[in-house]
A and B are shown apart, each in its own frame.
Chain A
Amino acid sequence: MNESTHNLETADPGDPTASGDTAADAIADGVRHGLDPRSIPLQRVVGRIVTACVSLPLAVGVAVVWAAAVPPPGVVAAIVSGWSVITGVLGWWLHRWAALHHRYASYTVNAEDIEIRSGVVWRKAICVPRSRVQHTDVSQGPLERRYGLGTLGVYTAGTDYAKVSLDGLEHETALRIRDHLLPPAGADAV
């Protein structure tokens, strides 16, 4: 019984089976859903932060070199244009990537399993049977909170896929999927 303590803590210990069923049926529709459209602007903000983290240190480095040894104007032009190309391409690519990621990521909640698809170039469809879910969690970072999104984490006893996570869900949806995935009480006997 110790195994299920994780689940019991998050579930309502009063009536775990009765409350689950009606809500579960609604969420387990077997239809392939895309992620919440708000995940695109969220990913774009993340992309801008990443771009800034790469390009600002580069700019500082360039400035330090400049101050140390005053280079000829041709070199200056080359360095500055190189820096702006790197920043521009990275920013543009991450901006585009948010939409691409959103286009290829999806999830399907069935009565007995959940399938999570992701990846743009190397695509994968990960199918976790409900009976193999060890525990689940829903997390929300500061940015996600602003956009009302959440990340669902599904933990199994597997090796390569010990944790399968799905981000870009509406927080409310993530909670409902989590509740659906919780195993019914008394399912594990050892």
Chain B
Amino acid sequence: MPSEPATPSRVIEHRLHPLSIGFSLGSQLRRAIFPLIVGGASANFLGVVEMRSVLLIGLIPFVVGSVVRYLTFRYRYEEAELVIRSGLLFRRERHVPYARIQNLDAVQGVFHRMLGVVEVKLQTGGGQEPEATLTVLPLPALEALRQRVREGKREAVKEGIAEDGTAAEEAATAIRAESPTAMPAEPPVDPTLAGTAEGRTLLHLPARELLLHGLLQNRGMVLIAAAFGLAWELGLFERASDWIAGEQSWIGPAVEGAASDVVAAGILVTVVAITALVVAFVIFARMLSVAWTLVRLHDYRVVRSEEGLRATFGMLTQVAATIPLRRVQTVTIHEGPLQRWAGRVAVGVQTAGGSQAGQSGNADPHRHRLAPILRRDRLREFLREVIPELDVPEVGWEPVSPLAFRRVVRGTCFLATLASVPLYFTLGAWGVAFHAAFLAWAVFYARRYVECLGWALKDEMVWFRSGWLWRRTTIARYTRIQVVALRTTPIDRWRGMARLLVDTAGAGAAAHKVDIPYLPLDTARELRTHLAAEAARTAFRW
């Protein structure tokens, strides 16, 4: 059990909370339950063994694994690093320097809260996976860990100044900028997860905004698809069909009767009825989306504190995610058509902490949407909090090559033609009309798409925007540029164009990057030389 966190307890090794066994078993089971059920069901079907025994035998390794993990897991605080030991056969000892910790996320589900424990994830610059997941810690231990990390970082900065004044100065100011209200003598301790005791609230989403967010983004369909999959796996459909179409059921005949009445009433009524059903389904999906958003992002709050930005949210599962400000690599502004109509945007940040799309962590989905919904007129203010150097009222966008439209339109017209080939076979002469409509759309879309491509250099940052309906704008500071690459395809060389990619740390595979296509070759070369020189001029810090 963790002792008092204030004293430097170098030799005391802490263990996880004993409930860890249950929680780690639970999270493993959640991942393994479907394969087990499918395997069990098929074994059952084949008549080899009973499903129940398959499930029981399948569970044994997970139970043993969880117990062993709990028994072997130890962590201790060294002066400058956190040391984590684990493993029975393959022992592993990880040293995580406090100064290298990128994010410290805390997740509390319903059960966690009932039992007074919390799951903690530490991320450093390396790799996609969290460096360490502490499942689960008692609440006071989380606070002790947070304080260690805070103090460790301050120590590291101090040492840096002592050794090399000029190089560390920037880092020190970055730390200072992060903590305008911090008292260096006595770091504030917040006993709750929410962390509202300190710092300034940058963003708070009231229920009205969350409602709007739920309406604008289409979460409902995803949920319906997931529910459908689940029902399929569990064989609920067969039971439901028995229930609806069974002999004693009144639902089946009633539906059938209503349907035949509608069809008998004529084509107009049928069309109206089908439209009504579709509309009802869409409304249902959106309502589901709203409900999901209200629960998941309940009381969404971004606070700027000593540690950086801290996002807290959730009704059932409460998440507290911390993002140190100077670890922000790129910022992306997302705008969909509905959001634009409502005057809202979303802002995502990428950190080098390896929290990428596709990773299934509880704290993850909102790491890259720091502000899930934000009024357009508040965007500038919010961005300036995330990137202090940013001071731009409006960016003057540079276009891509004037020949780009010709290239894009060829591609879209080809696709339009390909899509209308089957229509010629099925609709005959009507296929021509569809083909013409598709082509018109292809030309229009290509025009808009190329118009929306743009780049800019401003305030020591490179900006890139792309997409017409779903527009994304990414901002990368020169200090965060890692590699500048110029790429050409044979068509690029024929047309005198090139593609410029600016690589940064922590850019996930699905993330929007500064990857500018269709640049005139000369412009691309100039830009490459300029950006590389600017990057070389400055030092990169994690």
Identify the A interface with B (CB < 8 A).
1-3, 112-113, 115, 121-132, 156-161, 164, 186-190
* A16 vs chain B, min Cβ distance (A): 14
Select which of B485, B490, B493, B503 is within 8 A of A125 by beta carbon.
Answer: B485
Q: Count chain B residues whose beta carbon lies closer than 8 angstroms to a beta carbon of A.
A: 44
Which of A121, A124, A160 has the most B CB atoms < 10 Å from its CB? A160
* A42 vs chain B, min Cβ distance (A): 26
B193-201, B337-345, B391-399, B530-538: which lies at the interface: B530-538
A158 contacts B157, CB within 8 Å? no
The B interface is mostly helix, strand or loop, or mixed, namely mixed
Select which of A2, A124, A125, A187 is within 8 A of B167 by beta carbon.
Answer: A187
A131 contacts B505, CB within 8 Å? no
B413 within 8 A of A: no
A131 contacts B488, CB within 8 Å? no
B171 to chain A: closest residue by CB: A190
Contact digits for B168-212, partner A, Cβ 8 Å, 1 yes 0 no: 100100000000000000000000000000000000000000000
| Given A188-B539, A188-B541, A190-B168, also A113-B532 (CB < 8 A) | yes
Select which of B163, B483, B532 is within 8 A of A156 by beta carbon.
Answer: B483
A125 contacts B528, CB within 8 Å? yes
Q: Which residues from chain A contact B536 at a C-beta distance below 8 Å?
A: 112-113, 129-132
* A90 vs chain B, min Cβ distance (A): 23
Select which of B167, B485, B503, B532 is within 8 A of A186 by beta carbon.
Answer: B167
Contact digits for B499-542, partner A, Cβ 8 Å, 1 yes 0 no: 00101111110000100000000000000100011011111111
B505 contacts A159, CB within 8 Å? yes
Cα–Cα distance between A3 and B80 once the two chains are bound (Å): 14
Cα–Cα distance between A189 and B99 once the two chains are bound (Å): 11
Select which of A130, A157, A189 is within 8 A of B125 by beta carbon.
Answer: A157
A156 contacts B503, CB within 8 Å? yes
* A180 vs chain B, min Cβ distance (A): 13
Give the 9 A-B CB pairs with smallest separation, nearest first: A158-B482, A129-B536, A158-B503, A112-B536, A189-B160, A189-B168, A161-B483, A189-B167, A157-B505
Cα–Cα distance between A127 and B536 once the two chains are bound (Å): 10
| Given A159-B505, A190-B156, also A124-B486 (CB < 8 A) | yes
Cα–Cα distance between A158 and B515 once the two chains are bound (Å): 14
Query: What are 7 A-B pairs with beta-carbon distances under 8 A?
Result: A112-B532, A123-B488, A124-B487, A128-B482, A159-B503, A186-B164, A188-B541
Q: Which residues from chain B contact A159 at a C-beta distance below 8 Å?
A: 482, 503-508
B484 within 8 A of A: yes
B485 contacts A129, CB within 8 Å? no
B485 contacts A131, CB within 8 Å? no
Q: Which residues from chain A contact B532 at a C-beta distance below 8 Å?
A: 112-113, 115, 127, 129
B506 to chain A: closest residue by CB: A159
Cα–Cα distance between A186 and B507 once the two chains are bound (Å): 28
Identify the B interface with A (CB < 8 A).
97, 99-100, 125, 156-157, 159-160, 163-164, 167-168, 171, 352, 481-490, 493, 501, 503-508, 513, 528, 532-533, 535-542
Which of A112, A113, A129, A190 has the most B CB atoms < 10 Å from its CB? A190
Cα–Cα distance between A124 and B43 once the two chains are bound (Å): 53
Q: Which residues from chain A contact B508 at a C-beta distance below 8 Å?
A: 159
Q: Which residues from chain A contact B487 at a C-beta distance below 8 Å?
A: 122-125
B542 contacts A190, CB within 8 Å? yes
Given contacts A129-B535, A156-B483, 20 further A-B contacts (CB under 8 A): A1-B159, A2-B97, A122-B487, A124-B485, A124-B488, A125-B528, A127-B484, A132-B481, A132-B540, A157-B125, A157-B352, A157-B505, A158-B483, A159-B508, A160-B501, A160-B507, A187-B167, A188-B541, A189-B167, A189-B171
Cα–Cα distance between A124 and B503 once the two chains are bound (Å): 14
| Given A131-B536, A158-B505, A159-B508, also A125-B482 (CB < 8 A) | no
Q: Which residues from chain B contact A123 at a C-beta distance below 8 Å?
A: 487-488, 493
B485 contacts A132, CB within 8 Å? no
Cα–Cα distance between A173 and B239 once the two chains are bound (Å): 73
